[in-house]
Structure 1
Amino acid sequence: MHPIVIIGSGMAGYTVAREFRKLNPEQELVMISADDAVNYAKPTLSNALVGNKAPDQIALGDAAKMSAQLNMRIETLTEVTALQSEQHQIILKKDGTETAQPYSQLILAVGANPVRLAIAGDGSDDIHVVNNLNDYKTFRENLSLRNDKRVVILGAGLIGCEFANDLQNTGHKVTVIDLAPQPLGRLLPAHVATAFKENLEETGIRFVLGTTVEKISRVEHGDYQVVLANGQSLTADIVLSAIGLQPQLALAKSAGIETSRGILTNLQLNTSHADIFAVGDCAEVNGLLLPYVMPIMQQARALAKTLNGESTAVHYPAMPVAVKTPAAPLTVLPAPPDVDVTWETEELDDGMIARALDSDATLRGFVLLGPTAGKQRLTLTKLVPDLIPVTV
């Protein structure tokens, strides 16, 4: 019998392997990684400075350790050049040599790539993105070389705001730029976003909203001039882009697997091709693309059972997202995109609770801002219907 093959060594790939090994210690497992396959928790990157964690302390285990722990062959620094579903094999390239790797079942855990803006200027090539631990090491190395610590962040989404909070609270001067009129534009109603922004501004973070970056130029002393579409100009020591992520679809598309925003799967995480599954940030499950930790955990548990012969649909309970911005503690449970909601807000001394109610007055989502509001997380979560119910 051919092995089960996992393409990708991020949180999704390792979690599937771990969950499968709980059920089946013997079936041959192979992981293919384009990088060094170091295992780490990606969410720790955006608050490692406050936690006084050096990049090397973030790693939980290298490929050798994970291979032994999970009884799994791990191929590092290996590119998948082709997916041949009819032959049940993938073509690998390592050190210039191509080989065929057969599979019984294949898991695409290929993640997502950072969105990159087309920005003019000779400084645009120096923009940092942090999508993995190696990116983060480079960012921290460059950051440590700077004296003035002026950081410009492109993007006021979840990752941009988390990095802004982490950097501002460790002696940096942070400016966040976004085309949207508010931070966390896709997650928060306007009145909560305003309060959230004000809380972060009290720490010294500066927001420049409703505009975008047109040009980044290198100037004297290794500084950068950042020119905005509204005519403003900023000086930065380092520029970090956190515009968002785009599911990695190239391999799936090349094999004729159906894609939309992500790789399309059913509730069992099957793609349109037999014996090929998708999981994690690349997977659009039953129309939902949720690049967060909890959905990955739910997917991995269900997929592990399916791979072990017990076909299991993924179950999505209500899954709140905790935003790592201690200056403005925030928990968000977005309402389903296809549900019309009205917001009811309860003001508190140190924040607010905003409830998203549908036409039947059923709670479909919420936002908790501040320490007191955060204590309502479990109580409110229990009131929200499952996003994908348990199927029998």
Structure 2
Amino acid sequence: MTAPIVIIGTGLAGYNLARELRKLDSTTPLLLITSDDGRSYSKPLLSTGFAMGKDADGLGQADAGEMAEKLNAEIRTHTRVTRLEPAARRIWIGNEPVVYRDLVLAWGAQTIRVPVEGDAQDAIFPINDLHDYRRFRAAAQGKQRVLILGAGLIGCEFANDLLTGGYQVDVVAPSTQIMPGLLPLEAATAVQGGLQQLGARFHLGPVLQRLERTGDGLQARLSDGQTLNCDLVVSAVGLRPRTELAAEAGLQVARGIVVDRLLQTSQPHIYALGDCAEVEGLSLLYVMPLMSGVRALARTLTGTPTMVSYGAMPVTVKTPVCPLVVSPPAVGAEGHWSVEAQGADVRARYLGPSGQLLGYALTGAATQERMALNRQLPPVLAELPQVLSLKA
């Protein structure tokens, strides 16, 4: 029997790769393995569920059985891979070996957990997948006050969503502005102002130090001595690519699992895709680079080695109270921000030494300029001649 292509993970990366593979090859055995129930859903919608009035079932698109039928694949749910064995081209599920033709690691990233004193750590909810969302929705039933840890992109999206859903929201983050490192101050101020108009209260600078249960909910003590009353805490302090099993198997890892432009790891027949992968030093936890990787890897796995490339990749942030589109400059890029602001409409361009556009941030009505600016941006990862070969 022909060994299957094995994909570990059934999130956006895993399922979209399987779909692309089936467009090119309808018969090669395909096995997907997931530690959850395998329900198909769109992860970006997790931060829009309250505004849309949708619970976890409402965000789900198809269960594992339906996906297995659509993909002509075997899907093993509630299953954890415990070891990779590259030399033998197999993985282990407990004491069960599974041989593969090619292996794709699409197991995503995990939430960063911050240490907090007190007796209410179980009231802190990361929301990184549909299971997390289901738990939080259940806990939020009948509650009103939510404390969000983190004022980055995800924290601000959840703030907008929860405020629209009727919750009271406090945001705590150890920064001087929202979305630090992503936005210039003027754009950050515009988005923060919009969220404040919805009712958000920002506490920028301190961190959550202690969380304790009280008679009517929770009391959060911040590092600057403030105390805030809340019912639930959402942790949105960031994500870290999952690398542990890969490192144990001898694969090269840095921030993520290191892959070349073919998305091949340091071991032959093993690939990494999506949030867990690091391509030429880039760990891009967004949908656009993921989909570029999906299309390239599907071709590679079906016999046409194809290097991934990334064009301009702007990010539309889901803060409808103040629309935001951002294409951050490359890390370490030399240049400066040139900002024009009129109220909540901010047009910020990051210009290089010769005046060339290297990035931008647009808020409010200025977001209408994104298409014109996209045409001026350099690619994030330029196309190269298709000369790479697969490792033997």
TM range (shorter): over 0.9
Q: Is residue 380 of structure 2 the alignment partner of residue 387 of structure 1?
A: yes
Q: Which of these residues, 289, 294, 298, is aligned with residue 288 of structure 2?
A: 294
Aligned to 1:204: 199
CA RMSD of aligned residues (A): 1.0
Residue equivalent to 2:254 = 260
Question: What TM-score results when the alignment is normalised by the length of structure 2?
Answer: 0.96
> Which residue of structure 2 lines up, in the alignment, with residue 374 of structure 1?
367
Residue 324 of structure 1 deviates from its aligned partner by 0.3
Partner of 1:355: 349
Q: For 2:87, what is the secondary structure of its paired residue?
A: coil
What is the match of residue 175 of structure 1? 170
Residues 1:246 and 2:243 aligned together: no
Question: Could you tell me which amino acid in structure 2 is paired with residue 354 of structure 1?
Answer: A
Which digits, 9 at most, give the CA deviation of each residue in 1:240-286, with x for residues without a partner?
A: 11100011111101101000000001111011001100001000111
1:49 deviates by 1.1
- Once residues 111 and 347 of structure 1 are traced to their aligned partners in structure 2, the CA distance between those partners, rounded to angstroms, is 37
Alignment of 1:45-124 (within 5 A): 45-93=46-94, 98-124=95-121
Taking a change above 3 Å as real, the CA distance of residues 350 and 240 of structure 1, as seen in their structure-2 partners, is closer
Equivalent position of 1:308 in the other structure = 302
User: Partner of 2:212 in structure 1?
Assistant: 217
Q: 1:385 to 1:108 in 2, by over 3 A?
A: same
Cross-structure match for 1:143 = 140
Cα 1:350–1:234, aligned 2, differ >3 Å: closer, same or farther?
A: closer
* Matched residue type, 1:336: A
1:226 has 2:220 as partner: yes
Contact 1:319 1:333 in 2 (8 A): yes
What are the superposed Cα offsets for residues 280-306 of structure 1, whole Å, 9 maximum, x if unpaired? 100011110100000100000000000
For 1:97-128, what per-residue CA distance to the aligned partner results, in whole angstroms no more than 9, with x for missing partners? x3111001100001011000010000112211
SS of alignment partner, residue 66 of structure 1: helix
Q: 3-state SS of the aligned residue for 2:82?
A: strand
Structure 2 counterpart of 1:81, one-letter code = T
Shift, 1:349, TM fit: 5.4
Query: 2:24 and 2:354 mapped to 1: Cα distance?
Result: 42
Counting aligned pairs with the same residue, the percent is: 42
1-side partners of 2:118 and 2:284: how far apart?
34
Structure 1 residue 345: Cα displacement = 1.3
Partner of 1:125: 122
Which consecutive unaligned segments of at least 5 residues does structure 1 have? none
* C-alpha contact 1:124 1:215 (8 A) present in aligned 2: no
Task: Output the CA distance in 2 between the equivalents of 1:43 and 1:309.
Answer: 31
1:141 counterpart letter in structure 2? A
The code of the aligned residue for 2:70 comes to Q
Provide closer, same or farther for how the CA distance between residues 208 and 350 of structure 1 changes in structure 2, counting only shifts above 3 A. closer
The aligned residue for residue 7 of structure 2 is 6
User: How far apart are the structure 1 equivalents of 2:5 and 2:326?
Assistant: 36
